[in-house]
Structure 1
């Protein structure tokens, strides 16, 4: 049962007029890798269906639809101003999972696209240093996390320190490089690599997205 809340204008404009989030996880090999790995990790940490899942920031419901089809009771909330407060509805002993965009993702992706030059480099470096996105990069208002920051946010919200997973692993930039459709072998290799190094602290931040999981 989707619910909607007022959004920061730039975020609302971006996802309404600029970017189609509904097909992001199916449109590109990189998106397919993120979707496959996130489902794999969630299936590992969630209780068995028919449990109830609160999907905060669930957007158009790609994961909510997958969870509902698997027999879960799903409540989807999007554009909620205080995610940490909303997550207190988790029952004691239940898992809390939060996904974040990695701090390295913008600079890696913009480099892959050939969009870093003398004009854009200062803004990109500022985003990398602060984590606060400048919409001039082409993306909306956002914050990019270092792995340790995600841990700190969990503990600040009164949760145990979470286990961290790198979702896509370090090979994700190759999948959409130069606009060339990768072979299924390359996709499978990237998926296998992500699985092998998923919790290695030395490579966590190389994933495009991070997943943090703790038991409330």
Structure 2
């Protein structure tokens, strides 16, 4: 298996609780519900087979299995795989997105809801998409998440932490797409423009490509809301995200994109 970046491994092992990432904040809840909505809208119906690559502790594998899909989760972190395997409703195995052990044309859908933004080299992202296409049957679907180039600026600009002394971190990431490990923040990552993500899908030979904004412009509002305010704000935020998900002038106000492509 290809070696995982040491900083990323340390981030998920020592600094970050992945298991409740999509439930502990208003933004996380919005991201989770919109990801569910988009996948349920565009994936083939159950009981299709899904390979959830980089699936961590199984936050999406759980509900996909409950919906009737046959799911195998793959992750490079042993701690994640052990937690995912304990759920018991889907398979969970160690593996790396760049070098999958699954056979050619063996699944209906391959999900990459994390790997592309932790692969900072374009060649690694290209290899990952090629692997996803290889293991997915002709006519099947590859789905990948990307973090918006504007995500850091939007987050820090709305939570009061953006200042002259740290502004360069976010303008550099905006210019290059590269986010460097921050002991008080996120780890090594690549941030995408929507069209960049589309181009990576095109270069992988995928067809019928759609790139959609996930959270819409209201994510920072939810991130800074109190726990009591979230239930009131969330339905409106979902409607707004849905309305603007393909608007080329507003898509980058989402903190994440989801790209869908069909294997020829």
TM-score (norm 2): 0.76
1:108 Cα shift?
0.7
| Corresponding residue number in structure 2 for 1:194 | 241
Alignment partner of 1:91 out of 132, 137, 150: 137
Distance, in Å, in 2 between the alignment partners of 1:15 and 1:163 is 30
Distance, in Å, in 2 between the alignment partners of 1:181 and 1:117 is 29
Distance, in Å, in 1 between the alignment partners of 2:39 and 2:225 is 31
Alignment partner of 2:151 out of 75, 81, 105: 105
1:187 Cα shift?
1.2
Q: Is the 8 A contact 1:113 1:178 kept in 2?
A: no
**Any idea what SS the aligned residue of 2:142 has?**
strand
1:7 Cα shift?
1.2
Pairing of 1:160-179 with structure 2 (within 5 A) = 160=207, 162-177=209-224
Larger strand percent = 2
Distance, in Å, in 2 between the alignment partners of 1:152 and 1:7 is 25
Distance, in Å, in 2 between the alignment partners of 1:177 and 1:28 is 9
Q: Is the 8 A contact 1:5 1:78 kept in 2?
A: no
Distance, in Å, in 2 between the alignment partners of 1:178 and 1:96 is 34
| Corresponding residue number in structure 2 for 1:209 | 256
| Corresponding residue number in structure 2 for 1:40 | 37
TM-score (norm 1): 0.93
Residue ranges of structure 2 left out of the alignment (5+ in a row): 77-95, 99-127
**Any idea what SS the aligned residue of 2:179 has?**
coil
**Any idea what SS the aligned residue of 1:93 has?**
strand
1:184 Cα shift?
2.4
Root mean square deviation, CA, Å: 1.7
| Corresponding residue number in structure 1 for 2:46 | 49
Distance, in Å, in 1 between the alignment partners of 2:158 and 2:31 is 17
1:6 Cα shift?
3.4
Q: Using a 3 Å threshold, how does the CA distance of structure 1 residues 160 and 65 change in structure 2: closer, same or farther? A: same
Q: Is the 8 A contact 2:145 2:257 kept in 1?
A: yes
1:91 Cα shift?
0.6
Residues 164-201 of structure 1, C-alpha deviation per residue, up to 9 Å, x if partnerless? Answer: 11110111110122656424232111011111111111
Q: Which has the higher contact order (CA 8 A, sep 6+)?
A: 1
Residues 25-84 of structure 1, C-alpha deviation per residue, up to 9 Å, x if partnerless? Answer: 010111000000000100011111111001111111100111111111111122425221
| Corresponding residue number in structure 1 for 2:197 | 150
Larger helix percent = 1
Distance, in Å, in 2 between the alignment partners of 1:171 and 1:128 is 20
Residue ranges of structure 1 left out of the alignment (5+ in a row): none
